Amino acid sequence: TQLLEQSPQFLSIQEGENLTVYCNSSSVFSSLQWYRQEPGEGPVLLVTVVTGGEVKKLKRLTFQFGDARKDSSLHITAAQPGDTGLYLCAGVPTDSWGKLQFGAGTQVVVTP
Amino acid sequence: GAGVSQSPSNKVTEKGKDVELRCDPISGHTALYWYRQSLGQGLEFLIYFQGNSAPDKSGLPSDRFSAERTGGSVSTLTIQRTQQEDSAVYLCASRGSPHTTGELFFGEGSRLTVL
């Protein structure tokens, strides 16, 4: 059983459409991070959210941390083929210092 | 190099053999993580080092897996008597910040195939 549940597992959309990826847990996290991974490479950090209710924007990407610090979402506006990749959320539970755990990931494919 | 370096990049071995995977973190980074990733899946936490000590070894799948870190730098993940289910990409990451909100920098991974 994953501590962090991501949904959907797979998302295929056309260029220009919007998409949202969710990351949920029953545990409380001191912070959550989102990474993107491309084939043959390690994940690369997109953002870190630390405050409940926090919203961060990174160009066309919007990240939200839930008020209770148990969930997060990633919204991409006007998706482009370059957004294709495996999106992973990761967090350290408040009762488990240092043990950064990842969700199973959402594979996003954006076709031209 | 400036990034996290892992070797070998690919390893094919026979069932029952031992393998060693090496991780060279970014210089000065005190935290080092090992993860395992099966094809198209998320990252499974294996072990975490802060300096040379491993506060959390709970992710190691069995006693065939062990890891060490010497001099607060290079780490080695050893898998004894490999099994086919050990086939995966083993990723190493390091973090320079003492805070868990700091960015993890990943290597490109070591792909292990057990025949």
Share of chain A above pLDDT 70, in %: 96
Q: What is the mean pLDDT of residues A33-62?
A: 94
- For residue A44, the 8-state DSSP code is E
- For residue B104, the 8-state DSSP code is P
Strand partners, B31: B50, B95
For B33, the closest of A40, A100, A103 (CB atoms) is A100
- The reported pLDDT for the residue numbered A19 is 96
For residue A97, what pLDDT band results from cuts at 50, 70 and 90? low
CA-based nearest residue to A66, from A95, A96, A97, A28: A28
* Cα A47 from Cα A24, distance rounded (Å): 17
Cα of A103 to nearest chain B Cα, Å: 6
Q: What is the mean pLDDT of residues A55-70?
A: 95
Residue type at B103 in one-letter notation: E
- The reported pLDDT for the residue numbered A2 is 66
* Cα A84 from Cα A112, distance rounded (Å): 11
* Cα B94 from Cα A7, distance rounded (Å): 27
- The reported pLDDT for the residue numbered B102 is 82
Answer yes or no: is pLDDT of A1 > 60: no
Q: For residues B113 and B82, is the Cβ–Cβ distance under 8 A?
A: no
CA-based nearest residue to A10, from A100, A68, A111, A86: A86
For residue A45, what pLDDT band results from cuts at 50, 70 and 90? very high
Q: For residues A4 and A23, is the Cβ–Cβ distance under 8 A?
A: yes
For residue A93, what pLDDT band results from cuts at 50, 70 and 90? confident
Task: Please state, rounded to an integer, the average pLDDT across all residues of chain A.
Answer: 92
CB contact under 8 A, A43 and B106: yes
- The reported pLDDT for the residue numbered A3 is 83
B56 close to A (CB below 8 A): yes
C-alpha angle with apex A38: A24 to B44, nearest 5 degrees?
Answer: 50
For B104, the closest of A45, A96, A99 (CB atoms) is A45
For residue A84, what pLDDT band results from cuts at 50, 70 and 90? very high
- The reported pLDDT for the residue numbered B99 is 73
- For residue B103, the 8-state DSSP code is P
Q: What is the mean pLDDT of residues A30-54?
A: 92
* Grouped pLDDT means (10 residues each) for chain B, 115 residues: 90 98 94 90 89 84 94 93 97 85 91 97
For A104, the closest of B41, B48, B107 (CB atoms) is B41
* Cα A60 from Cα B39, distance rounded (Å): 28
- The reported pLDDT for the residue numbered A46 is 96
Asked if residue B8 has a cis previous peptide bond (ω within 30° of 0), the answer is yes
Q: What are phi and psi of A26, to 5 degrees?
A: -90, -5
